[in-house]
Structure 1
């Protein structure tokens, strides 16, 4: 039986220049009322590695959000609500997108939008096509940090995500035996 899912409000302040968008929080995240609460999701370890070089993110959820905000990174989801069984993006249907036209008007410092996985980008594109043509915005469709995306190990994610969020991959902290394929950048039209 489908479950009606409603996402969280954004985590943002006036200084944010980067917006990371997921699709819809997982069942575990919804129950905890925290972004990326599933212990196998690599989002928080990835952010700790990229932003501080630490192997582990802060244990406290408030400190995790502060870590992002202190680096001018906002967090939200492309989907405001949907019907879904379980947590997989492939199970999402009857979604309603968040209003990014109003959101970006209220937060004009945002210039980089990163999509955590294909579903996030697909939903954003479906409901916000005119925004994709804005010359002041850069879009990055990135590999998902979900445990369901096991082929992307943390070092591979860090290289691609680091280029999108920081403008360059982290230096001296990672090594990977294989070179990841670059995630396609979202088209502007």
Structure 2
């Protein structure tokens, strides 16, 4: 990917991978420029979403970003708090997160997934004005959808390893399976 392609991808919107009644709708912060160029969520090579999804038991094998459509077969989907692509999440302002939270809530009410999993507790706090939120199941529901805040799989999130993230994602998977 050339620097020109990445620059041209700024502010691009990447289509969601969604369907009605998913088990879990994963919600990223916003698309990276790599995601915007490829059209595939969590496509940056440093992003650990796909290996963590597999290690946590959500997928039978490690999917490539280009295989994101296969998630629907497992009752999983992907969206974002903020739709526009940026080089870094810190380029987003507080109002974008608040508006993103409103749009996300409307999307969840329409699609009715069993769980909304926001991958980034800081993004969850900003989008839903939940300053004290921690990783894990939240008290908030959106319609009948339960909410879980997960660690951000970005390679920049050095506080979490692939293994510790997979354990937390696995807790969500177990909760989602127990509700079948």
Q: Does the TM-score normalized on the shorter chain lie above 0.5?
A: yes
Aligned to 1:10: 16
**Cα distance in 2 between the residues matched to 1:162 and 1:133:** 20
Residues 159 and 81 of structure 1, relative CA distance in 2, 3 Å threshold: same
Aligned to 2:103: 99
Question: Tell me, what secondary structure is at the counterpart of 1:25?
Answer: coil
Aligned positions of 1:125-136 closer than 5 A:
125-126=128-129, 132=140, 134=142, 136=144
Alpha-carbon RMSD across the aligned residues, in angstroms, is 3.0
Aligned to 1:27: 33
Aligned positions of 1:59-74 closer than 5 A:
59=64, 61=66, 63-66=67-70, 68-74=71-77
| Contact kept in structure 2, 1:113 and 1:139, CA below 8 Å | yes
**Cα distance in 1 between the residues matched to 2:105 and 2:60:** 34
Aligned to 1:90: 90
**Cα distance in 2 between the residues matched to 1:145 and 1:102:** 25
Residue 161 (str. 1) matches residue 169 (str. 2):
yes
**Cα distance in 2 between the residues matched to 1:21 and 1:59:** 18
Q: Which residue, out of 21, 38, 50, partners 2:44?
A: 38
Aligned to 1:117: 120
Residue 51 (str. 1) matches residue 58 (str. 2):
yes
| Contact kept in structure 2, 1:79 and 1:120, CA below 8 Å | no
Aligned to 1:139: 147
Aligned to 2:137: none
Give the number of the structure whose alpha-carbon radius of gyration is greater.
1
Return the TM-score normalized by structure 2: 0.72
Cα offsets for 1:127-185 (capped at 9, x unmatched): xxxxx4547222111111000012211110011011113328xxxxxxxxxxxxxxxxx
Q: Which structure dedicates a bigger proportion of its chain to helix? A: 2
How many residues align? The count is 156
**Cα distance in 1 between the residues matched to 2:109 and 2:35:** 28
Question: Tell me, what secondary structure is at the counterpart of 1:80?
Answer: coil
Residue ranges of structure 1 left out of the alignment (5+ in a row) = 127-131, 169-189
| Contact kept in structure 2, 1:7 and 1:79, CA below 8 Å | no
Return the TM-score normalized by structure 1: 0.69
